[in-house]
A and B are shown apart, each in its own frame.
Chain A
Amino acid sequence: MRNLASKAFGVWQFAFMTGLGSLGCAEDLDGQPESCSESDPGPAPIRRLTRVEYNNTVYQLLGDSSRPADAFPPDEEAGGFDNQAAVLVVSPLLAEHYMNAAEDLASAHAPTLVQALPSCLGSTTATNACDGDVEAFLRSFGTRAYRRPLTDDEILDYVDLFHQGTVLGDDLYSVSVGLEMVVQAMLQSPHFLYRVEFGLPESDGDVVALTSYEVASRLSYLLWNTMPDGALFEAAEADLLRTPEQIEIQARRMISTPRAREAVKNFHRQWLHLDDIEPHITASGKNLAVYPDYNDELPMLWRRETEAFLDYAVFEQDANLETLFTAPYTLMNAELAEFYGVTGPTGVEFVRVDLDPSKFAGFLTHAGLLALLAKPDRSSPIHRGKFVRETLFCQPPPPPPASIPEPPSVDESQTTREQFSQHSKDPSCQGCHQLMDPIGFGFEHFDGIGRYRETEWGQAIDASGELTVTDVDGPFDGVVDLAARLASSEQVKDCVAEQWFRFGYGRGPTEEDSCSVDMIQTAFAAADYDIKELIIALTQTPAFRTRHAVYPETP
């Protein structure tokens, strides 16, 4: 098996120590895992809802589309994603935001929710009939809020809170205030804000199977970034989310829905830094003397192009990974087509446009990414090369020296390539920059706003590049050539699987996960690297279906 995380680091350590060598010795020496059914599930830390998940969840739960979490402090980002359990914490500030959001949501939706308490309406005092309605409400609404049935004790506590609330309104007896307070408390409950898991109580040993309700939440937050729907709750209630087959049936149902497309978009936005395109480019702007066609509306269109392309390829074309790199088409609307100087699209909708396959390849030649990996007045081979290394090969470059020498001055009459070539001649820069710049030079046909060019400052573009310390080493010419190489790389495929692991499980792979990683990679390969099949494979592993037993006494 290929142990991704450790291999990537192995390669780098090797490269760094020898100042660039062959990949040779980095092959994994681990043996095959014994048996996956007995394998370790890896860590499963408690997961706090992200802002995206919070918004989606209150939309599902209450039909609320006000996106209250947009006002929360931003989610902590680690490992390239905003949903990594280890760093998601609740500061006092966020706790206040949770309270305010809960109060606003409860007050906005109480008039609707109170219809579920017919025996309470018009009442001026507590009655048994009203309590019965409240209990029924708690059993239905509470199950959806907690994503599992409430215990009897929890029901009693909430009925008690309801009673307290009925006398804290402006009127002597207010059903609505009682209900609001129940909803407020539920929306601030750790059982709502976190995904709490204990596994099956009857399980023995350290590794326990998850309950069907817990699996329903894992499925819905992985595939949809939101709470379970009615069908998942039904399956959970019938305890039909226990076997890999049962889970797969649900996963296949779910992946063909629009919500899955949103979740995949969320992944791509983070993995490929598409969510940086607008804030980062507009923050620095582009130099209008060099790029007179640039305006601050473009970054939004650029981001949407890449999102639309990936969505179309994965869901309309059942694309595999290779296609994402090499597809000779993209999606544009009229405004973007004008920027690119392409004919075809006439409206605001993004539609497919076929491109010259000798110049363009998949998302790698999209203007947004290339403009993001550029300076305000020129391209940036360093950033582009670093992106390929770090994001596509999962090979973070080695550490720079403790004190970086001062960068040399640049001569603006030279091509970007010449300037950067000079820059990496410095022996102390060379080591790292040889790992990034030669890849980045392959993108030189694309300027600082991502448009194709044949010349720079009147000189012909040289887009020859070289891949080193990868499994697809060798010289190449231009992005189309590079894209084909990336599409054939095992390392890139492993990297994509690893990124999905992080996004899907809210954590990075550990030594314990070798079996799960292997299962994912094997299934991905067996499906000819179909992205949707990779996501389905994520639901079949020990890391997804089981967890370590929870020991409260553990020091």
Chain B
Amino acid sequence: MSIFLRPRPRLSRRAVLHGLGGLAIGLPLLDAMLGKSAHADGPELPKRLIVMYTPNGAVASNFWPTDPENPTSSAILSPLGLPGVDDHRADLLVLKGVDMLSALSGPGDAHQKGTGHCLTGTELLPGDFAGDSGLSAGWAGGISIDQAVADHIGQDSLFRSLELGVAVQGASVRSRISYRGAGQPLPPENSPYTAYQRLFGDSLGDPMTIERRSARRHAVLDAVADQHTRLSAQLGREDREKLLNHLLGIEAIRARLDQSVLEFGGECLALDQGEPIDPDLVANMPSIGNLQMDLLAMALACDITRVGTLMWTNSTANHVLSFVDPAIVEGHHSLAHKGDEDTVKMHQNTLISTWYATQLAGLITRLKGIPEGAGSVFDNTVILWTNEQSKGNNHDSRGMPYLLAGSAGGYFSTGRTVEFEGDVGHNRLLVSLANSMGIETNEFGNPEFGTGPLPGLTV
């Protein structure tokens, strides 16, 4: 059995891949792909970018590896190096000494900036989102790296990108990392049930029903899109932009109708999500997180998307994460603000970060379980683990706890820690990610904070 996504008018790369019948693709071919656009000729394995976000910083002394040869030699990262299927030591690239320099500029408080900048690398727009202490800001001021990558490699997928959340609360700049452009946030879906219905629902049911529904949607959305186009032409600039952004969403639905439905098979299977539980309950975060990661992995297995973000809560989230440890009775943000000498609370913060690392390990294990070419989907993926700040109790944006997992098809040289000296803006990390996905650029976000990829990451 294999995966069948049958887009019309042309065959997807994944279908091409399966057409090769498990042909072993050797390293030379992978090398040949390096630095090339995803639209390059010849058989190639699709690349994928995943971003995992967790909030409120990390305890530095327990995050950074003690052994430069072993990226999991720290309390927090240890779950990524457990013996057995969760031993991902060889696949990690710990980036020490990268600073979110942009967070020292522009509107907003530290959490707002850290969240809005983390994937955009540029200043926030001015606006009315209330921050700490009277500061305020608007949405992020530019496109986020996941969306830039989606523009490059996601155009042919049923969903150009997938935004998932686990108990993300609020709807402001503190709760969004993904942006289609300046002022165009993409909200994460917190419910794995709604997300499943969204991704796979249109493919469930008998073909006649699907065909008719598709024809009806076409007619309705054509009418609605015409109204948007006509009205937007009559409006002033800001209102017109708002309507045109809305229209992008309508067009994305229409484009999917033009593509195809997906057929389950091979690794691409309908998911059994079990009895629904409440996605808003903090106590359900472990289960909901698992369901979201199952869904993300399945979306990759079915190749209906190649770009995903997974937000675990939001910046300043005060969720009481007592499922991590029953001794944790204070909200995460409050805990993160405790002084370094408060050893009990520092330990609890460390446990929380360690729990998140365990989740990341689970996500990697899932992707390694999806065969592709001679290896797995994970081989062609890179996962960025990001945060909005490095340290919770002083909002530091230097020495961000950045971790890459996966080589993105042999682009990154993994299994080590790379340390940087001096001011190294995280824009350069975003450039590295763009390059790894085949985007040839030297800049991402505001180049004032750094240009060119991070040195020494590639093979």
Contact = CB atoms under 8 A, between A and B. Distances in A.
B143 to A, nearest CB: 14
A551 B133 CA distance: 38
Interface string A82-122: 10101101111111100100100000000000000000000
A73 B237 CA distance: 26
A95 B198 contact: no
A102 B223 CA distance: 14
B127 A185 contact: no
A399 B133 contact: yes
B133 A398 contact: yes
Contact of A91 (B186, B224, B232, B334): B186
B238 A45 contact: yes
24 contacts: A46-B235, A71-B194, A77-B172, A78-B128, A78-B129, A80-B130, A87-B127, A89-B245, A91-B187, A95-B249, A161-B219, A168-B215, A168-B219, A177-B216, A185-B227, A188-B224, A189-B224, A287-B329, A396-B134, A399-B133, A403-B395, A406-B393, A409-B341, A550-B234
Contact of A191 (B109, B217, B231): B231
A475 interface: no
Given A96-B253, A177-B216, A190-B231, A404 B133 contact: no
A400 interface: yes
Given A92-B249, A190-B232, 16 more contacts: A12-B134, A46-B243, A74-B171, A80-B130, A89-B242, A91-B186, A92-B253, A95-B252, A157-B226, A161-B219, A188-B250, A190-B246, A404-B394, A405-B394, A409-B341, A552-B235
Contacts of A400: 132-133
Contacts of B238: 45
Contact of A46 (B139, B223, B239, B282): B239
Nearest to A194: B243
A170 interface: yes
A73 B215 contact: no
A433 to B, nearest CB: 11
B224 A75 contact: no
Contact of B394 (A102, A191, A285, A403): A403
Contact of B212 (A80, A87, A170): A170
A554 B340 contact: no
Contacts of B189: 73, 93
B331 A284 contact: yes
Contacts, number: 197
The 8 A-B pairs with the shortest beta carbon distances in the complex, nearest first, are: A396-B134, A95-B249, A92-B249, A78-B128, A90-B246, A79-B128, A74-B171, A73-B187
Interface of A: 12, 45-46, 48, 71, 73-80, 82, 84, 86-87, 89-96, 99, 102, 157-158, 161, 164-165, 168-170, 177, 181, 184-185, 188-191, 194, 196, 198, 279-280, 283-285, 287, 375-376, 390, 395-400, 402-409, 432, 508, 550-552, 554-555
Interface string B230-262: 011111111110110110111011000000000
Interface string B151-192: 000000000000100000111100000001001111101000
B339 interface: yes
Contacts of B127: 78, 86-87
A177 B219 CA distance: 12
Given A74-B170, A407-B339, A554-B236, A508 B246 contact: no
A445 B127 CA distance: 37
Contacts of A194: 243
A375 B170 CA distance: 20
A169 B128 CA distance: 47
B342 interface: yes
Contacts of B249: 90-96
A89 B330 CA distance: 34
B6 interface: no
B320 interface: yes
B319 interface: yes
Given A77-B129, A87-B128, A285-B320, A190 B227 contact: yes
B242 A432 contact: no
Nearest to B184: A89
A404 to B, nearest CB: 5
Interface string B104-140: 1000010000000000000000011110111110110
A90 B241 CA distance: 11
A89 B185 contact: yes
B326 to A, nearest CB: 12
A89 B342 contact: no
B228 interface: yes
Contacts of B139: 87
A406 B394 contact: yes
A395 B393 CA distance: 25
